[in-house]
Amino acid sequence: MKIEEAFEIVLPDIKMTVTSHLIGGSEIYRIEFSDGRPPLNVTEANGYRPFWTSVPQGRQIEAEFFGKKIAEHLKNK
């Protein structure tokens, strides 16, 4: 279930379209990239400290970087 309107994040070399969805009680963000790479699904997990992770796992470095960009956007909206 989509839970808010799509938004864009623009960096110097890439534009991302982000949508948020509620799946199994978790908020999942789907990122579609302008450079043609496969879409990325991320969520903020709560461990010892909150961190961003990919769903399914395997793209952790991207998830941490782009997840922080999503958090910045949400904080400043």
pLDDT for 47: 77
- Residue 5: CB atoms within 10 A of its CB come to 7
Half-sphere exposure of 66 (CA within 13 A, CB side): 27
Global pTM?
A: 0.89
| pLDDT of 4 strictly over 80 | no
pLDDT for 63: 96
* Total number of domains constituting the chain: 1
Q: Per residue in 19-65, pLDDT tens?
A: 999 988 889 999 999 999 999 999 998 878 889 999 999 999 999 99
- CA atoms of 28 and 3, how far apart (whole Å): 10
Boundaries of domain holding 6: 2-76
